[in-house]
Structure 1
Amino acid sequence: MIGEGNIVIDTIGLPDFAGKSDPKYIVLIQSIREAIRSGRLKPGTKMPPVRELAWEFGITPGTVARAYKLATDEGLVEAAVGRGTFVTGAPQLAPPPPEPLIGLAQTDLLDFRAARVPEVGQSAAIRTVLRQLGQMQDAPYLDYPTSQTDLAARQQVVRWIGPERAGRLVADDIVLGLGAQNTVMMALQACLHGASPVVLTEGLAYPGVRHAARLLRAQLIGVEIDQEGLRPDRLEEALRRHGGQVLLLSPHAHSPTTARMSLERRQRIGDIARRYQLQIIEDDCHVINRPDMPTFRAICPERGWLVSSLTKSVSAALRFGFAACPAEQASTARQVAQSTFYGLPQPVLDLCAELIRSGEAERIRDLVEREVAHRVQIAVNILGQWDIKWRTDVSFVWLRLPQGWRGSTFAMACEAEGLRIKPADEFAPPDGAAPHAVRLTLNAIAEQSALEDGLRRISALLSRPPVNVDF
């Protein structure tokens, strides 16, 4: 036996992996449930580390991690950062709420977690347009939104995206949502079917992907990535092994790694999607500028979706998202939108349409892009001695930690210094592994002097790793 895990392993008992047809992670979670319900595993008991339990039972660490994730979701165990996983007691009626995607700003901490848009005069511009709209005498602010009342906004979205990115595009191909996350949910609902749908995504992905899959009761499979994003060979392996209805990815501005996918790789993935009847949802939410790279909707228009918003390029307060759908799928997506929230409020439609039509949105986007490039340069000047990935058109940097630091322990050390960061663990799918790395966003701290001070403190911490860390 193997140290402090002995009692727990003996108490769980050896699951009957050979005698059951269920996947091994299901067999293991059934044994854990039974041990807790029977009282053999007492509240407060520390569970053995994933690798120890995997070695003892002769199974893979991924199988144990998957069972532990289910046990955590059911409230059977609780993971304490830096301390381990502990039994909490009987299963709860509902899993505890997940970490919110959006948190309130904390004035006592420097925030390198939140991916916000910098202030470049948006508030004044929006107030000006609102005053102009307030002078309209015939504004239709009485009834529910319809395909006619949101037509002007959809036409402006076509202009905002541009045909060079999305291929042939007309207003009827556009479906509007309440920001990119809501629009991704809408696209997934339009694409997924069956009792156990499978969604494929990058091996590291924005946490909103996990939230969406959980809400839709879909299995989320992470696919290995490299310096250019998702690997086509690993995608095909995952499709052969798991199947899959949807690939959800961010090929142009990948969060958290800043990777950008080449046209050649996009075309290879498009070919795979055609062979396996796979829908591709391209989440463009971290793209600020208007890239010259064609999207999957242009590469394979019969199955490519482009989802984006004005959140990172103009203002998050607008909650204005949009999907450029495959032409034959737009009506389905529109039905999903109408069934879930009817449509965007008419004042928001009018405001966003006018911001784009007047050129104000484009002007703001240019200013945001310049401010982001300036902040990235500050980060590179201060953190350049460390292993960082960065781009001047992406509002965060990806920092691989030096020997001695883990993502979770570095996050705790930063918090003790008054700094909030996002470790790589938060981007990993349920069964995925995370590198020792963190994402640092650069827009949530308003004052440049405070940003510089926070980055210098991060650099100082990196040079002082804890001792006796076992990797």
Structure 2
Amino acid sequence: MDDFRRLADAVVEDIGAGRLRPGDRLPTQRRFARDRGVAVSTASRVYGELVRRGVVVGEVGRGTFVRAGGGDPAPVPTEPVTSAVDLELNFPILPGQAEQLLGAVRGLLRADALDVGLRAVGVTGTAAARAAAVGVLSVPGWSPDPDGVVFAGNGRQAVAAAVSALVGPGGRIAVEALTYPVVRGIAARLGVDLVPVAVDAEGMRPDALAACGPVGAVYLQPTLHNPLGTTMSPRRRAEIAAVLDELDLPAVEDRVNAFLRPDPPPLAVWAPRRTVVVDSLSKRVAPGLSLGYLVAPPPLVARVAAAVRGGGWAATAFAVEVATRWSADGAVAGIERDKRADAAARQRLVADRLAGFTVRADPAAYHCWWELPAPWRAETFVAAAARRGVAVTPAAAFAVGASHAPNAVRLALGSPTTAALDTALATLAALAATDPHDTGVE
């Protein structure tokens, strides 16, 4: 075994045995090299291997720290947390929402109607389903072409299909330097390398995209970016579109959160022949009976449809039929309105409970980005919050590659009840006001 991997194993063993605890800072690479009698270059490879395994994280200007709940590979939250107030995952389901959805489902419980849902359906659905999708996805300034609509099982599958259609194995795709964690897993399974692109207060920077080197496509979230909550202005969207034209690149535009903020319209308005729009019902309605949407321009429809079929990501006829009925009877539009009001109310709780802290939050979003006060470190804070029954996500979960993560956490606001969220925010605010040495995790 290579020396650097053996040394990395020894550090992992120390973590497993409790000799190194979540939040502990590792020595500098130079000090590590001197203590272990190896070259600094070998120490650098050790630290790189530990980051790859997900057991440590580098924080800008601070050093390298043991992750909370580290593992191999870096953990990405995929299932609800049951033992704590869950501020990791965002699947808002409102009280009374099931009643709004019941009519369409009840209508399928007749033999003649259910027969429709039991039949096979292609990835482009039916004319009625595509028209319903147009109704769901349209916003002021943009309405998708129904001939460009392709259906997937959910939003994650839609993202996977779009990436698969545009970037082959061994290819590279540009993404924001902090991005939706599931994209990392999708790229790894498809054999696609992620290329981080610097962001600013509006999202992906056009100059950084232009300088990122050869890539096959771009994945980005122009509206209510996860985790940062940023939204690109129309001017920034035009600048990104100009870079796409200059580099002759297609883009995957993730609009899963954009129903909360319909304005400005999609990047696809500025780059209509280059942009594959991805959306779903998972957050608009519910994750338990979802549907993924892809809207591809004419040159890309066939490739996107083939990727959905080839990846096994096609939606079921039942889900397509239910979604079509939900759109027709106004259930989707009604739940969207209710969720916009709910998200705004939850953001008011954030503004109240976390007043005085550095929080980046769009008033329309179901999440916020909290830059932690000194001397707190993200991994230590996550561990301390978990001990108090609140699950939050460190910045490292969103960082692409081995890049240093900011000293911040994301709070997902949509899953708990409003009362539970209020209590959790108060708990986190009190925790952040304490000294980390007094929490039992430092």
Alignment TM class, shorter chain as reference: 0.7 to 0.9
Aligned match of 1:261: 232
Q: Secondary structure at the match of 1:317?
A: coil
What amino acid is the match of 1:341? Answer: G
2:13 to 35, 44, 57: 44
Counterpart check, 1:175 vs 2:150: yes
Aligned match of 1:207: 181
1:161, 1:290 within 8 Å by CA — same for their partners in 2? no
CA distance in 2, matches of 1:207, 1:460: 28
1:245 to 201, 216, 219: 216
Aligned match of 2:342: 371
CA distance in 1, matches of 2:298, 2:380: 48
Aligned match of 2:61: none
CA distance in 2, matches of 1:218, 1:109: 34
Q: For 1:215-234, what aligned pairs fall within 5 Å after superposition?
A: 215-234=189-208
Quote the offset at 1:184 in angstroms: 0.3
Q: For 1:100-115, what aligned pairs fall within 5 Å after superposition?
A: 101-106=77-82, 108-115=83-90
1:406 to 357, 373, 377: 377
Change (3 A) 1:385 1:327: same
1:297, 1:326 within 8 Å by CA — same for their partners in 2? no
Change (3 A) 1:83 1:235: closer
Aligned match of 1:333: 304
2:50, 2:56 within 8 Å by CA — same for their partners in 1? no
Counterpart check, 1:456 vs 2:423: no
Q: Secondary structure at the match of 1:220?
A: strand
Change (3 A) 1:295 1:342: closer
Counterpart check, 1:346 vs 2:317: yes
CA distance in 2, matches of 1:63, 1:166: 48
Query: More relative contact order in 1 or in 2 (CA 8 Å, sep 6+)?
Result: 2
2:224, 2:261 within 8 Å by CA — same for their partners in 1? no
Q: Secondary structure at the match of 2:219?
A: strand
Aligned match of 1:116: 91
| Cα offsets for 1:159-178 (capped at 9, x unmatched) | 222264546x3222011111
| Cα offsets for 1:315-363 (capped at 9, x unmatched) | 1222211011121111111112122327321121111001111211101
Quote the offset at 1:84 in angstroms: 4.1
CA distance in 1, matches of 2:416, 2:11: 45
Structure showing greater radius of gyration is 1
1:173, 1:330 within 8 Å by CA — same for their partners in 2? yes
1:415 to 386, 409, 417: 386
Aligned match of 2:289: 318
CA distance in 2, matches of 1:49, 1:229: 32
Quote the offset at 1:297 in angstroms: 1.6
1:120, 1:364 within 8 Å by CA — same for their partners in 2? no
Which range moved further: 287-296 or 211-220? Answer: 287-296
Q: Secondary structure at the match of 1:408?
A: helix
CA distance in 2, matches of 1:454, 1:380: 14
Q: Secondary structure at the match of 1:253?
A: coil
2:222, 2:231 within 8 Å by CA — same for their partners in 1? yes
What amino acid is the match of 2:29? Answer: E
Quote the offset at 1:53 in angstroms: 5.0
CA distance in 2, matches of 1:457, 1:468: 15
Quote the offset at 1:122 in angstroms: 2.2
| Cα offsets for 1:133-176 (capped at 9, x unmatched) | 22362533444212675332222111222264546x32220111
The CA RMSD measured in Å over matched residues stands at 3.2
Which range moved further: 45-54 or 350-359? Answer: 45-54
Counterpart check, 1:466 vs 2:436: yes
CA distance in 1, matches of 2:432, 2:268: 42
What amino acid is the match of 2:257? Answer: H
2:167 to 162, 176, 192: 192
Q: Secondary structure at the match of 2:116?
A: coil
**Which stretches in structure 1 are left out of the alignment for 5+ residues?**
1-28, 86-94
CA distance in 2, matches of 1:375, 1:293: 22
Quote the offset at 1:68 in angstroms: 3.8
Taking structure 1 as the reference length, the TM-score comes to 0.80
Counterpart check, 1:32 vs 2:15: no
Task: Count residues with an aligned counterpart.
Answer: 418
Change (3 A) 1:226 1:100: closer
2:80, 2:89 within 8 Å by CA — same for their partners in 1? no
Counterpart check, 1:158 vs 2:128: no
Change (3 A) 1:465 1:255: farther
1:286, 1:312 within 8 Å by CA — same for their partners in 2? yes
Aligned match of 2:362: 391
**Which stretches in structure 2 are left out of the alignment for 5+ residues?**
34-38, 59-63
2:29, 2:44 within 8 Å by CA — same for their partners in 1? no
2:101 to 126, 131, 138: 126
Percent identity at matched positions?
22
What amino acid is the match of 1:52? Answer: Q
CA distance in 2, matches of 1:53, 1:354: 63
